[in-house]
Structure 1
Amino acid sequence: MSLFSVNEEKCKKDGICAAECPLSIIDFQDKGKVPRPFDHSESLCINCGHCVSVCPHGALTHKNLAPQDCYQVDKELALDVEQTEHFLRYRRSIRNYKSKAVEKEKIEKLIHIASHAPSGHNVQPVHWQVIDGKEKVTELSSHVIDWMKNMLKAQPDLAKMMHLDMITAAWEMGMDVVSRRAPALVLVNGGSKDPFADSACKIAMTFLDLSAPSLGLGSCWNGYFNRAAMSWEPLQKALGFPEGIINYGTMMLGYPKYQYYRMPNRNTPRVTWTD
């Protein structure tokens, strides 16, 4: 088949697919005929699936996506504004975890959800990596401590501003302030020279972060691990990064030891309105 086919019996010739195509590669200039791909459209298509998803009639089938392959929209599951605010504000950074391991199936479900996060030009550049087990997390966190000790020697002012002196001291006393003895870490990695990777990885990780409570899990961004993984070669080797791949975000994951009962306020947003 060509880039897409149209079921002429279902098509209402309303042109919605052409209007919504982000690359404008669907020809609907002749309003009396069904849409068709422009010449050379196949080389421009980003496989976003908008044309298939937006058709109310299920008339368009992309060569890589059929209507029946899509997850159907259920308006009964849509959140209203109050539910949306509660859902987003309920999210907390969890730093105390039960000793219970996180089931592989739950991590896979979170990654599946998060893999649908937007990415520039639909390039989907995210490489997921899961560190499973408290012992392995602690082993890798020791490399972060080594990075911190090196930072205290090489850039003492910056290191102290980041409280690396206190964190390394706590480590020597048996306290893990790096990964909080989390039973699992989830990493989002991507190409070091990929212009889309940084934002795509962070957006995808945010999706995972927000989804975790729905499975009874808690999460927390691990900025220290991320900083070390971006530059500390021993940690990069321990993580087995392929050539050209770096870490753009690390998340602690586990079952919360404590529950939260209130949602604190934040500062009034700083907004500049430009008319």
Structure 2
Amino acid sequence: LVALLEADKEGFLRSETSLMQVSGRAARNINGKVIFYAERVTRSMQLVIDECDRRREIQAEYNREHDITPSTIYKSVEEVMISTSVADARQPVQVAEAVPAYDLSTLDQHDLSFTLDLLRREMKKAAEALQFEDAARLRDEIIRLGVRPGDRVLEIGTGSGYQAAVLAVIVKEVYTIEIIPSLAESAAKKLKELGYDNVFVMAGDGFFGWPEHAPFDAIIVTAAAERIPVRLIEQMAKGGRLIMPVGPVETSQRLTLVTKRMDGRLIYQVREGVRFVPMTGRIQEK
């Protein structure tokens, strides 16, 4: 059973695409059911309902033609964990209780990827409350930024604190901002319990950055917007890098890497298409 409250509150999380993705969670159970709780049927809701009906008719006809009896798909916890882990994850390895200090400046991209996978497993073992669905994406962001041991990094969008914890093992200091106070408090508590003393968490609007601690060698923005906030550009150190998904928040964006040269000039590199949750706060004001 999948129940979606306030399904008629249209927006990014109640768009046709989001409603379809949520509804798909019930697709593998023969008795799966999706309930939209709403006071009215929105356009997005109706499109999803119509599309589900269309697909159901096609599947039913296919089943009849091929004498197929639908059944629920069962998976063990281990199978689910494997299917949702980083795509290139290797076999489990033994890690020390304390995370070792890695000299990442000497690693090529393949070895760096492998090292970060080890860090991901250690975090997964130590912090049972954190989420790892986005591990591969976050790891790739870190690789693109080319963070180094002596860097000071600003992260916009703390979330559970997972990415901040990975960065904390690699760089000198991590400053992370979360706009939802409860998430900021929870992440700060978890990071402190795990001994990440070089991570500093603030509840606030990432649009303004953290000028008191600028400039930053690297800035990671984990939410999408149609433009990069000027204040974040201003808080980049010379030679610094910023990475952010840029584009329409209703559809997809392009991962954009900005490098500030030593003479202050900016170099923009537009990378692959991605889809992130929208950045909230001041950035939404026109």
Q: For the pair shown, which has the larger CA radius of gyration, 1 or 2?
A: 1
TM-score interval (norm. to shorter): under 0.3
User: TM-score, structure 2 length as denominator?
Assistant: 0.26
Indicate the structure with greater strand content.
2
User: TM-score, structure 1 length as denominator?
Assistant: 0.26
* Bigger relative contact order (CA 8 A; separation at least 6): 1
